[in-house]
Amino acid sequence: MKKLYAGMAASALLAGMLAVAGCGGTEKKAEVKPAATKPATELTVYTSVYNGMVKEMAKPVVEQQLKDVKVNWHTEGSESVKAKLLGEMKKGKAEADLVMISDPDFYLQLKKDGKLLKYKSPEAAELAIPVDSDGAFTPIRISAMVIAVNNDKIKEPPRSWKDLLDPKYKGKIAMPNPKVAATALAAVAALKDKYGWEYWQKLKANGVIVSKTMEMREKFGRGEYPITITMEEDVLKQIAQGVRATVVYPEEGSVIVPGYICILKDTKNPEGAKKLVDWWLSRDGQLAMSLGYMHPVKFGIKEPAGAQSLIDLRIHSLSVNWDKLAVEEKQVKEKFAEIMK
């Protein structure tokens, strides 16, 4: 995977493009840790962007583009980022200046609590997902939860979310833990709203495995988990690496999860933070999302290779009530965990 990221970054730079990508991962932390006391020229970003992509693509490119700002990257899964940030806020001071995760309901809560700096980037025109009305957070990428099928293990793939309840798939399905992955939480909430908790009870009875995200990816590639509920970009990357797999866009609709960036109100470097937001929304930053198999939010940017078009994804999407999830997140996680015991 490291070679793939490095190759992509090199090709992008030669072509005049700049690359970065990612969403909702659970890889180990980046090597750069937030300093106890940061100079005003530094920024710390808490993100769920994959650590490999940060090290190979985002970090060197941002260093080249924003020479007057030193950016420290802290990478973990979305839920771990949230826990770290909230823990620091409870103690009175967050180390982060910006947050980049795929969890719209969390941004709504931070805004409600008055924790965000309002900023509307001049680059935030003609976006597929609107900027928050007050500029508290800004979309930079779009992911989708889909069904991935290993072609060497499954000859008759499911076509819908309901098909996963078929006994012929018993014990063959895996998914990320929604306590760790915000995108998985979105899928749990969307399917719960459409079919009720009965859906997840039946999927449990059909042997669904709740797995660590990285472990799930590896076992899917080896065929140990023949079917996964996963992010579109994950399976597209694996296909590009030679895994014989198919992305199934369920008949009821994929679960679309926007990824946002926000600036924390207490940042000591608001101007540098604004520059970083601007970069993600620039043509280079949005082309980077496409290279990482994620959908850019800016119209007119090339779609990810092998992905369903964003127009089709949006037409056939399974909606998530983000305002409702912001209120019910704890209960949804607890109920899911109870079902999966």
List, for residues 56-112, the tens digit of each pLDDT value: 666 777 788 888 889 998 988 888 899 999 999 999 889 999 999 988 989 999 999
| Single-letter amino acid code for the residue at 127 | L
285, containing H or E segment:
helix 283-291
Whole-number Å distance between alpha carbons of 129 and 138: 9
- CATH H superfamily, domain 2-142+257-313: Periplasmic binding protein-like II (3.40.190.10)
Q: What is the rounded average pLDDT for all residues in the chain?
A: 87
Please list, in sequence order, all residues whose beta carbon lies within 8 angstroms of the beta carbon of residue 85, skipping any fewer than 6 positions away: 46, 94, 96, 99
Whole-number Å distance between alpha carbons of 283 and 5: 20
Say which residue, 51 or 270, is predicted with more confidence.
Answer: 270
Contact 74, 47 (CB under 8 A): yes
38 pLDDT band, cuts 50/70/90, is low
User: What is the structure's pLDDT at 303?
Assistant: 93
Say which residue, 219 or 2, is predicted with more confidence.
Answer: 219
289 pLDDT band, cuts 50/70/90, is confident
Q: Do domains 2-142+257-313 and 143-255+315-339 have the same CATH topology?
A: yes
Identify the sign of the CA torsion 125, 288, 238, 243.
positive
This prediction has a pTM of: 0.84
256 pLDDT band, cuts 50/70/90, is very high
Contact 211, 175 (CB under 8 A): yes
Candidates 78, 72, 41; CA nearest to 55 is 72
| Residue ranges per structural domain of the chain | 2-142+257-313, 143-255+315-339
Within 10 A of 75 (CB to CB), how many other CB atoms are there?
28
With a pLDDT cut of 70, the percent of the chain lying above it is: 86
Q: What is the CA radius of gyration of the chain?
A: 19
- The stretch 267-276 carries a mean pLDDT of 95
* Lowest-pLDDT range of 1-10, 68-77, 133-142, 207-216: 1-10
- What is the CATH T-level fold of the domain 143-255+315-339, as seen in this structure? D-Maltodextrin-Binding Protein; domain 2 (3.40.190)
User: What is the structure's pLDDT at 2?
Assistant: 39
Please list, in sequence order, all residues whose beta carbon lies within 8 angstroms of the beta carbon of residue 70, skipping any fewer than 6 positions away: 39, 41, 42, 43, 63
Question: Using one digit for the tens of pLDDT, what is the confidence trace for 157-197?
Answer: 999 999 999 999 999 999 999 998 999 999 999 999 999 99
Contact 40, 273 (CB under 8 A): no
